[in-house]
Every structure is written in C-alpha cells, then in structure tokens.
A and B are shown apart, each in its own frame.
Chain A
Amino acid sequence: MKKIPFSRLHLKNLIQYLRVFTMLKIKNLTVKVLDKTILEDFNLEINRGEIHVLMGQNGAGKSTISKVLLRDLHYEITNGSIILNEKNLLNMNTTEVARESVFLIGQNPVEIKGVSNAEMLRTTLNDQGKKEENILEFNRHLTRLCEKLLIPKEFIHRDINYNMSGGEKKKMELLHMWMLKPNFIILDEIDSGLDVDSLKLVATSIREYYEEYKPSLLIITHQRALLEIVRPEFVHVLNNKKIVQSGGYELASKIFNEGFTGASIIDKSDNVE
C-alpha cells in the first residue's frame, strides 16, 4: 500500500472534517413570493453544534428563510444555492429535508383535527426507519416528556394542536422535537404567545436539548429572555433582503438596549419603501 505522508493525510482529514463540520451553507440566495423579492444575495453558514440567531425588524423576511429551508413551494428560489449536509437542498422536497434531520417549530403551528400527536409521531418514526419502540415503551417515553414539559399526559392522544393555547402548542412542538431528535432545529419566533413562565420552560428545554444532542440551531426571535437562556454564539441582522451585520451575542445585547436604528444597524430611511 502506498504510504501517504503524514502532512498530506493530515490535510485530507482536515478538509474532510471541515466539510462534515458545515451543516448549512446558503450562498447568494434570492427568494420571491408572487413576483415580490423577499431575500436577495442572502448568505449564511451554520456549522454543526452552533447556535445562530437571526434578528430584524418586522416584515424583513426572517420567517421566509425557515419556509425556504423546509422547501415550502410558495417561496420561489430564483438564484443561489443551499447546501445541507453536503447535499443540494434545492433538489429535495419537504419530507427529504426533514429526513436530513431538520426540524421546524413555526410561529403558529397548524391544527390537524382527527390526527393525534401519538399517531403522527409513531407514523413518522416508522417512516423514517428509526428504531421502533414497543407501544408501552413509546407511551412511557411520551409520558416522561410530558412531565418534563409540564404538559397534561392526555395531550399525547389529543389531536395535533387542536384547541390548544399558544403555549401548549409550543410545548407540544418541543415534545415532537425530543421524540424525533433532529440535528438541525429552526425556531421561528417560538416565543410568540408564551407567558413569562412558559417562555422560561421552553427556553430551558431547548438549552437542555442542545446540551444533550449538540444540534445546530437557527433561532428567529426578538426576545431577550429566550436568548439569555439558550445563549447563542452568532447573531445576524436581516435588512433590505440580506444580512447586513453579524457578530457575537454582544450584537444582540446592543439591539435589545438601543434598537436596530438606535444601534445604527438599520437606517431609519431603510424602512421607507
């Protein structure tokens, strides 16, 4: 066998490591909805185990990115590329993206009458070929999660999000997350509709999940309390269809203290169309 010099082997491993290290790479992305450009020349890179926050004023297009990543076909991609786990995301459908271990918790999770949480989770785990637990162990697992998330255990067999409050819906979504164990989680204003105690519980649960499984996280939020608990490392500001500034947590602190315009991140004139 040909002997590879140490330095070349080392370099090869390093390149491989760096490639695998990247979870998501969005390059020069342009997105349109009904011929209106929402994102243009949008770039973002997220590595494994990193927590990123996307901030921006209302209507800036933050939620668009979560829908684009889950391949919602209402959003038309007219330029750019998205690489997820070394694969071209633009060639995938929603199911395929989810099976790459991507998980979205949206602002207002949809209600589905007649389909219970347990039924959906069991079918999903089977569909994904994940190890089938027996029904007793599956129910015990769900019950333990309900206790942890302070959810009444009868919610397991209730219809998905049906007649639930905003807080209950978000906790149920977290329960789904803990069951499906994703590697890349997108939280789109998970804090909306949560009271102070629920927000603390939700944020703590997200941090606990992070400590246990080290997923990548993309958080879209305006909430200081959420970020203080989840502790992101990277903060990006979206304005005029692209990321205009990136930094560490201190950038978020500055925005919380002074606002986008006060911190001179966004010009007041930027808001006038």
Chain B
Amino acid sequence: MSAVGPAEAAWYAEPRGEVSAALADCLRHGREAPAGLVRAAGGAGVDPWGDDLHFALYLLYELHYRGLDGVSDDREWDPGLLRVRAALEGRFLDALREAVPSPRTVEESFGPLLTTPADRAGGVSGSIAETGGLWRAREYAVLRSPYHLKEADPHAWAIPRLTGRAKAAFVAIEYDEFGAGRAEAVHARLFADLMEDLGLDAGYNRYLPAVPAAALATVNLMSLFGLHRAWRAALVGHFACVETTSSPGSARMVDALTACGAGPAAIRFYAEHVTADAVHEQVVRREVIGGLLEDDPALEPRIAFGCDATVLLEDRLADHILTAWTNGRSALRHPLPQPVAA
C-alpha cells in the first residue's frame, strides 16, 4: 500500500492568517521581522487558541528542533523573530492562565488523574474502535505526529535545569524514551513504525499543513515550557502528567487498534507505552517531582500549572476530534485521501 496523504506541501505553502503569512514570508526570504508583525502577534486580534497563532508559533519553535527547509540555522536566535515568538507566547500564556485554576498543589492537580475513568470505552480511542476501519486511526496518528515524532525531545531541555535526585531520575526516564541506547527502540522511531504500518508517510512534519491548532497547541505548550528556564517546573509537570495518563490511555489505544485491524507495529507503539509509562509514572512522581520539591518547594504551583495546562489542551484536542467525527467530518484541516492498494 502506498503512503496516503495530499501531495507534499512546503511548510510555507498554507499560512493560516495574517501573522503566520507575514512570518512565513520573513523566514522564507531571510527578511527581518518588521515591528508591525510583533505588534500584530501580540494584538487582541489574534485568537490565542487559533490556527494563525499556533501555526506561527510552531514554525518559530521548529527553528530550535530540526529547522525548516530553506531557512538558515542562524535564525534560531534572530532577535526580531524572538520578539514575534515572545508576543505569541504572551497571548498563549495569558489565555492558559485565565483558563487554568491556580495556584494549585501537586495533589490537587494529579489526584484526579490517578483514577480509572468509569467509562472506559468512551473518548477518542472508543471512537477509533467503532468505525470498523482504519481511517480514524490514521487521522489520529497524523494529529499526533508533530508530538510523537519528537517525543521526549522538548523535555530534554529540562536536564541542565535540574539537579540531584530529580535530575538522575528524569534522565533515566528520558533514556528509556530514547530507546535505552537502541535506535530501533527510540519512541519517536516506534511512532514512525506505527505511521508506516497504517499506510502513512512518517517523514518529520510531513503532514504539518493538515494538523489543526488544537493539536499544534499541545506541542507548542511543551516547546514553550522547554525553552524557558522560568517554566522548568511546568515542563516537569507536563512530563509527569503525560506519564501518569499515558499507561491506561495507551491500553485503550491497544484495544482500539486491535479492534479496527491495525498491524503489529501500530499496536506495539501503544503496548510499549502501557508498561513503560506505568514505571515512568512512579519514578516521575516520586523522584522527579519529589526531588524538585525537596530542592525548591516554591516550585509547586508551577508543577501543578504544567499538569493542569496539559489536561486542558488534551481535553480541547479530544473535543475537537470527537466533534468533527460525530458530525461526519475529518478532524484534520484536509482529509487524507482514501489509500489505494499498491
């Protein structure tokens, strides 16, 4: 079966509004960011949850990961681009602060995550299972690809900012995420295997034009936390939240993918996360959060904020997906074409 997807579009081909269009132009042509763009990026006209902001922010963050085709690596620390980024981050953070209750304790944030939902069949995984085909599994993989193809990368930025117990335990979990020394077991590689198993193209950012704001926001959140030392405790809160919710969520995905006839590599990605993250959850809460709070108890509200912001954006993404699917629409910006047998 050949990989499914629209003809490959360049990252700059489909800006999503005034800000991302002007930004893509600056990046593509090596131009300085004009002052007007900084003002527009921080202005009230930009929806803090919207496609224009999250696509622009995603492009700017990508300069810190693997870069963008045709954009000089030197622009990673371009002061004008950093001003645009700061303006977009300000809008996003203001909206998060307004939406997330704070200050909260670690117990208040994590307590509700440590229960098994009463309705195990519901949610996105339940919807994937009920189609009797793979198209929802494919859409979900595309939605998650910007995240899982850089799984654990943004969290690595926490390492130089942690010490002692928290650092040692954090690095041990990251080592596991990065395949414990084996390239074929790097979690991002396992996700690429899942995509290929579903007949998708596993190229990095290959489906970026199709991924809507609700999914990009979940990635932008961890990039934001990762790139700012001030948000290191929130990055730990994000990491701990993902590890805490991943194991049961992955078990539901194993069931869903099995029910809709996905192949072994697709199922393996989630099966690996069931047992891996049951361990990671224990280690991250005891050693990483425990160690960090021992070093600096004042960080507690930021750890809780990182967790709560993650839950908020994950709930928003699940709502986006289920609303689209319930109404018979694609959850992507462009639906994937039906795959053709090779």
A and B associate: no
B residues in contact (CB < 8 Å) with A: none
